Structure 1
Amino acid sequence: MAGVLRAERVWVETFAGLRVTQFARLLRVVRERGGDGTLRGRPWSLPLAERVLMVAVYYRTNLTMRRLGPLFGVFSSTVCRAVRRLGPLLTIEPVSPPAEAADRLWIVDGTLIPLRDRSVAASSRTCRFSANVQVIVDADPRLVVAAARPMPGTTADAHAGRTSGLSRHCQGVTVLGDGACLTCEMAVPHRKRPGRPLLMAEEDDNAEHRRVRARVEHVIGRLKNHKILRGCRQRGEGLHHTVQAVAPMHNLVLAS
């Protein structure tokens, strides 16, 4: 089988959505984490750079492995092995609060990701079967700080935020949440009470809260430029590894 895609500038930028320098940084991370090691069994038919590109293209386009394999001149089984091997090595490292944490602002929100694995997903209002993934974003550079393990799509954001373990990353940092996060120790908008309209100052606070919190919605929208987050076919830990791998690729684009 003769492949078409190679780890060259035109293919990296076109299919992975990364500049060559960004892809080189991604490749260096995978190599430092042992991605170039040889597993037991058949040796790899592709060099590490092309395997990393293949995984990035898989996340970006959500092509089936049967269709992606011929583009690289390999069988679908090789694509599956590469995704399972390299996907966990791309995972984002949670960011600890910086020394000036009191001056930083983080935003948390959840998103529903359609998922076929019913052992992880659940039927929700907007998607037939989906998983709820909580994401923390730094408001200023709009980088993804951390992403929680997926929970069933019927899980409320407040409950998902309490049980996901993301709160341990937010010690000493002001975190914005939506109105459903009243019991999560976050900064939330003012709520209207029966017979008590909001004051003008409270209305202004809510407007500013919505303006700033919209940044997390924009980040989630950019994450879903990777089409695998619009309909994930992975099973078990696959969605978790996918979200954790897509986040650093998003951060590379913004930080470079």
Structure 2
Amino acid sequence: MAIKPFPFNWMISEDVKLNRLNAWQIFAHEFDNDIKDIVNFVKDVPRLNSIKRDDIGVLLKKNVFVMYLLRIVRALSPKGLVLRDGRHIDFDSLKLIFGELADDMLHFAMHVVSVGFTDSELAVFIVFMLVQPLTADYQAATRFSSTAQLVNIYEYFRKVLYKMMSSSNNTLERFQSLMSILPVLNRLNAQHEKIINDVIRANESFLSLPELFREIFRLPLSVTSHYNQENQFQPAAQLAIPC
């Protein structure tokens, strides 16, 4: 696949805050495509039909970023991120979007690739991350009610992962290595949620964002468009944009 430069200009101003909002408005449409793929992937996950539909939505909203990150580990490098169609977002642009989280994402991706997990193992681990048990407070806040089913599915996929990795000579070591990245992913997820809250949620009324992106990240679904012809961010006139 030929690598192509990303066609949009991330920098529209000397104001770093405006540039970051512009970058997010552009990137959100790329992220939205991956979210759609993740949603379709989840529809085919065995045993997940025992969980209520609304509860699956709760799990997706909580874990979609880490699922996305696991999907792109082989596409991330110090040069940036290669999208599915071969377009390339350079690493400086990723830093504009994600800030310091971009460095952590890269280090995580390089670690996962260096350990040598297979695509099949990562696919099951993506499901495993989706079905992590929730705290009682989180369940109460989101009205999650499929608690017992979630625990059963979590244990099922933990066993599936171990069995899948049992064909290698160092099964326990590889399994423990995979399990060790779970808290790392949850930490990265918390960092990403802070970006969504501080950058996107605080400025969502100024941004034109895809509907699914808004739904997944719990943003109001009414969209105010500030795109110009080049698909770039245009702040509303005479309005300050806090970040």
TM superposition score normalised by structure 1: 0.27
Does 1 or 2 have the higher relative contact order (CA < 8 Å, sep 6+)? 2
More strand by share: 1
More helix by share: 2
TM superposition score normalised by structure 2: 0.28
Which structure: larger Rg?
Answer: 1
